[in-house]
Amino acid sequence: MTQPATSPAPSAPTPGTLAFTKGHGTQNDFVLIADPEGVLELGADDVRRLADRRGGIGGDGVIRLAPTAALARAGEQAAQNALAKDPTAEWFMDYRNADGSVAEMCGNGVRVFAAFAEQEGLADLSAGPLSLGTRAGVKHVTKEANGWYAVDMGPWSLPGGETAVSDGYDAAVAVHGWTAPRPALSVDLGNPHTVVALASPDELESLELHHAPEVAPVPPHGTNVELVVPLGEEDGPDGLVGRLRMRVHERGVGETPSCGTGACAAALAVRTWQGGASGAGAPDTWIVEVPGGEVRVRVLPGGTVELAGPAELVYSGRVAR
């Protein structure tokens, strides 16, 4: 299991440069920027340049750590909402996809954000949970004894309602190379997901995801598409644990080795297919295998879901602005 790196960020600022840290959660990777005064402006062009894997640092997205209060004063509605809900949410996760588009949040990114806040001396998870603001609400992060970070991802829902639960689908997905679209289930975790079940690991492995899957009806703000294979159940310390394997095509990014909210959506979809909206008879805990490793998804009482997994900070440096 990976542990967050403790190497300090460079301490000697150079004019015309920007300090950064590179981090990842199960190889879902990010460029992290600390902006403790809340004064840094990152435009879409800046994000694309930083995330570029040939001309920049490279990453699936860019995360700016900034004071929630400063963003609230600047008119960021999500920051205002975060402080109204939880005044202890001192820091805000300003997340952008690699293409420069603004995103609600990222489950793997939340864990990496927490490790980054620790490295920067802005949080101490040994003293208790970290509350942080996102565009998908306030997230609470705890650190487990094994070094993993666990995040209460908040409420989830099935946008298709009872009809989608009874039918098992409310959308159709076409992947490049398929002869026909396949049924899929929509899951909302503050950002949109569409989950498709496949028959075997071999079929999952053979998918061609260089092209974005086509989803119908077309989601108004795009969607992340998860292709999943249920792998059965196994005994865990607290009862049965489900296991599944997943690949994901993220909106604004392409295929990535992992997606935290996507892992949650995949587990919730398989649980729904097995036990309906309540998950009756299906496990509440799932191990999700992704190309970048494994994460744990746990359905919590009260309609929320928890994501747990590793976070690693790889290196820090400075880049020309």
Catalytic-role residue among 50, 57, 72, 106:
106
Q: How far apart are CA 25 and CA 109, in angstroms?
A: 7
User: Which residue type occupies 191?
Assistant: N
Which contacts qualify for 277-282: CB closer than 8 Å, 24 or more apart? 277/158, 277/162, 277/165, 282/242
Report the sign of the C-alpha dihedral through residues 121, 125, 127, 129, in that order: positive
259 noted as active-site residue: yes
264 noted as active-site residue: no
Q: How far apart are CA 86 and CA 64, in angstroms?
A: 20
Omega prior to 192 cis, within 30 of 0: no
Catalytic-role residue among 259, 264, 308, 311:
259
- Sort strands 192-197 and 182-188 into parallel, antiparallel or unpaired: antiparallel
Q: Are 146 and 1 in contact (CB under 8 A)?
A: yes
Q: Are 153 and 199 in contact (CB under 8 A)?
A: no
Q: Which residues are within 8 A (CB) of 73 and not within 5 positions of it... i.e. 6 or more apart? A: none
Q: Which residues are within 8 A (CB) of 202 and not within 5 positions of it... i.e. 6 or more apart? A: none
Catalytic residue numbers?
106, 259
